[in-house]
């Protein structure tokens, strides 16, 4: 792990790292916030944050206002990049923002030419936590959250890995990617035409199966410009009701898809995770 930059914030440290990933076969960047007093003798639990389309590790750390509350709670935050990057990493041939670089969708791609690098599911669930827990003063207690594409990733990972993450939350998640333009484009290219493969990356389908239960908290703004065509939270709610799976979906009048929305409600999400991590 190579340190790119380090800044003191709210008594703790915000550090950006670069490392070579065995999963994505390229250099990956991620950011960490370590709260005050986090040390080898006093390790702290971790919230993993997954960002949305076009974002990097920097968006959440700089815009969400989360570090103050994480410092107060004694909670570390880890924010990975949203996709592999580099000169040899394939990108969308048209340069579209919703696919390729910056849009890894947190899946393990099986189709050429994406399968060599686009292994973001395994990177987030296996390689990155192992690296973090070896090198930094954190425990093996983990929670996960995210926004938009990252909200989709957080829900899928939390639902599929309840033994590795104690709670999951999301802001404006892509709730049913099998049935929206963003998801159909990404899943068909990364995973091929067999929609049975898509199901494992669709939170609404996973909840409908009620394979596992994990505490789930979701925030959605009613003025989100992507609400009807791309996000479809009602699909997630319907699946939860049909399978008798408890989730909390809060609709907020007038809020949009931006980080103004995230910053407004991020404290309640950190406290939600802190309660399940046993530090609140």
Q: Pick the catalytic residue from 57, 81, 202, 224.
A: 224
Q: How far is CA 76 from the centre of its chain?
A: 15
Tokens (6 digits) for 98: 């919703």
256 is catalytic: no
Q: At what angle do helices 66-73 and 259-277 cross, to 10 degrees?
A: 10
- State how far the Cα of 269 lies from the Cα of 75, in Å rounded to an integer: 12
Whether 160 contacts 121, CB under 8 Å: no
Q: Which residues pair with 48 in a beta bridge?
A: 78, 144
Whether 230 contacts 188, CB under 8 Å: no
Cβ neighbours, 10 Å, residue 205: 21
Per the listing, tokens 């929670």 go with 143
257 is catalytic: yes
Q: Pick the catalytic residue from 117, 147, 257, 269.
A: 257
Q: Pick the catalytic residue from 21, 51, 148, 172.
A: 148
Catalytic residues: 148, 224, 257
């Amino acid at each position: 792990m190579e340190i790119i930059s380090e800044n003191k914030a709210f008594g703790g440290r915000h550090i950006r790292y670069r490392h070579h990933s065995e999963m994505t076969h390229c250099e990956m960047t991620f950011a960490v916030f370590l709260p005050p007093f986090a040390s080898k003798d006093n390790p702290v639990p971790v919230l993993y944050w997954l960002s949305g389309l076009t974002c990097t590790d920097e968006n959440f750390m700089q815009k969400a206002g989360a570090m103050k509350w994480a410092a107060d709670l004694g909670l570390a935050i880890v924010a990975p990049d949203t996709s592999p990057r580099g000169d040899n990493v394939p990108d969308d041939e048209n340069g579209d923002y919703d696919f390729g670089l910056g849009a890894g969708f947190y899946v393990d791609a099986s189709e050429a030419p994406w399968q060599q690098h686009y292994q973001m599911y395994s990177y987030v669930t296996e390689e990155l936590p192992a690296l973090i827990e070896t090198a930094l003063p954190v425990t093996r207690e983990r929670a996960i959250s995210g926004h938009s594409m990252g909200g989709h990733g957080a829900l899928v990972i939390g639902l599929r890995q309840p033994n590795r993450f104690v709670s999951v939350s999301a802001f404006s998640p892509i709730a049913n990617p099998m049935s929206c333009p963003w998801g159909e484009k990404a899943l068909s290219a990364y995973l091929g035409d067999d929609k049975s493969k898509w199901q494992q990356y669709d939170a609404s389908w996973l909840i409908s199966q009620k394979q596992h239960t994990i505490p789930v908290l979701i925030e959605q703004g009613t003025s989100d410009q992507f609400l009807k065509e791309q996000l479809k939270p009602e699909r997630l709610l319907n699946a939860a009701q049909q399978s008798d799976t408890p989730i909390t979906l809060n609709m907020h009048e007038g809020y949009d898809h931006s980080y103004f929305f995230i910053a407004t409600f991020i404290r309640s999400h950190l406290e939600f995770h802190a309660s399940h991590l046993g530090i609140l």
